[in-house]
Structure 1
């Protein structure tokens, strides 16, 4: 991705925050932060003109694959952006699962706008934190404002602004359409996870017993989750299953059999936003250890038929990293045909983010209790 980094000559340097040496206080800090934000906004045109950095194909640090289901156009899309913000130790990954008549447009719009907006907000938040408190130690144990706080604030602001922008988009009708957004920023040895919707992130790590085990990093935000249902009911929305879909809980308007949304958080879907649907992300972090090998981000079509443990075994048994995401999708397609016969297959998208450079096989950590053909 060297060609991409060269486009931003000098951009990375803007992330090295200089301390304010005068006594003008908050006004100078705000002015400097605003200037940095304006600079980031200028880069936004370049980001959008390039589309996305890496979304079709794979390399050694990440593997990406998406397959259209049987419901029409593929409404899933993904992104892997290496050297995020021109920082060598940063990478941005995301899975976006659209739904509704305009879902594929909504998903691509959010995918294309979220990274640049997040960069802008992160840059501004970092500048404000540093300039308002020149002695701040983002690594120290007694810090008032941690790196996590800055990323969380940036994500919350980004998701709010992206959703607001989408609502007023002149060319995309998102009143009855929307998308999920599951994204990860890796910065050094820490990952920051933002989840809006029901796509899922699963970590493959080695247990104390030496076997490879799955750790689910996100919640599937379904309407029947207690905290989600409480919010929806409090906003006069309804949550129930259709008779021919037992176990599939959906969000409905108070007095109409619409929209029947099978998730409790999403971008778009403004027909239900007043009744409990939100685009607020759950933001979490995890420190990467030597035992952590890779993270799988996947849309719900995968998890409908593949368990967390099965997914990490499939990826770990794939000898060539670039083929890992495709192999997981292929196995999910086969599982769908067996487990959900007669039901139209969903779109399926996967990003596998490998956490270490070692290309050694993980097969010795896997209990071969499951056979994958």
Structure 2
């Protein structure tokens, strides 16, 4: 949920590359140190041409005063597209009353719409992400649940067999990559309403950008508001899926696309491969990009340990800063290396490689 939650103001590539290895698996439910459910959302290894991509993901429900085990509104998944030798990763952070419904809808439908689009079939994956965002959001609006102040971020990327890396971001979830000894590289830009281009678009639609104001005092970060009484929706982000009220004042669901290469310097010379973290803002709120990557490196290629450690440290930072308030925390960690090189650990560090497209589910629903 995080800062993206709506807050009402008080009334005062080549298709012939080797296929991915994949097998079906069940959602794995674990528990953190304080007993809250931690859900495995992805675990596996995929071969993309000459690249070995290992991945593991976890999602941990947050907490709020009087509700130590809140509903987890985050979701994440990894989808190997075998026939295209491409890998898709998505993390979605829902907010508002129906935020969980939105994020769960997105993990089911966004990858399907992306794969079914003509751009995807012709290998134009960046155009495919843009097209899928529009189609998925329009379908979301027809689902019959209230989207007035409910929505979700979407941080998405794909990797291809010929070394392309492309991100598509909506909101303030984030993707970062790195190698030991080098500064972390942000692969996405957080969509805050104070960014010049975002602010201009919102104001052009009649929106207001300012913090929550109580008794004349500004509290917290700048938010997007529609004028009138009461002020609403109070979004901390300038792009999201859903959020019908925000949509009327310039909040859009168009993903911002950024393109990279797996072999970009200094990653081409990284003999042990490179790491990518795709995570909801519960991870990034109190940890810098370099801090997150150092946590990953400390785990020595064990991606299960990396996810668990990253989530634990993020939650501890929330407790130190906010007390009883902890945001949902979701992280998917990828390790990419040339086949025959890099870290030799499997995705989980001690388990056989397997691919997963599991979504975050509450413990009661897990198999």
Q: For the superposition of Structure 1 and Structure 2, which TM-score range results when normalised by the shorter chain?
A: 0.7 to 0.9
Residue in 1 that maps onto 2:355: none
In 2, are the aligned partners of 1:55 and 1:79 still within 8 Å (CA)?
no
Residue in structure 1 matching 2:71, options 66, 70, 73: 73
**1:63-104 superposed Cα distances (whole Å, 9 cap, x missing partner):** 1011111142010010012x32444x3211110000000000
In 2, are the aligned partners of 1:63 and 1:323 still within 8 Å (CA)?
no
Residue in 1 that maps onto 2:306: 324
Q: Distance in 1 between matches of 2:82 and 2:316?
A: 38
Q: Distance in 2 between matches of 1:68 and 1:328?
A: 14
**1:245-300 superposed Cα distances (whole Å, 9 cap, x missing partner):** 64511111122411101111000011221111000000111101233611111111
1:350 aligned counterpart, secondary structure? strand
In 1, are the aligned partners of 2:178 and 2:276 still within 8 Å (CA)?
yes
Relative to total residues, which structure has the larger helix share, 1 or 2? 1
Residue in 1 that maps onto 2:56: 63
Residue in 1 that maps onto 2:114: 118
**Superposition pairs of residues 39-188 of structure 1, within 5 angstroms:** 56=41, 58-59=43-44, 61-71=54-64, 72-81=70-79, 83-87=80-84, 89-121=85-117, 124-125=118-119, 150-170=124-144, 172-188=145-161
Structure having greater relative contact order (Cα 8 Å, sep ≥ 6): 2
Q: Distance in 1 between matches of 2:63 and 2:94?
A: 14
Considering only CA atoms, is the larger Rg found in Structure 1 or Structure 2? 1
State the TM-score, normalizing by the size of structure 2: 0.72
Residue in structure 2 matching 1:301, options 272, 276, 282: 282
Pair 126,299 (structure 1): closer, same or farther in 2 beyond 3 Å? closer
What displacement does 1:242 show?
Answer: 1.8
Residue in structure 2 matching 1:233, options 191, 203, 216: 203
Pair 245,322 (structure 1): closer, same or farther in 2 beyond 3 Å? farther
What displacement does 1:353 show?
Answer: 1.2
In 1, are the aligned partners of 2:202 and 2:208 still within 8 Å (CA)?
yes
CA RMSD of aligned residues (A): 2.6
**Superposition pairs of residues 258-269 of structure 1, within 5 angstroms:** 258-269=232-243
| Ranges of 4+ aligned residues in structure 1 off by more than 6 Å | 49-52
Relative to total residues, which structure has the larger strand share, 1 or 2? 2
Residue in 2 that maps onto 1:255: 228
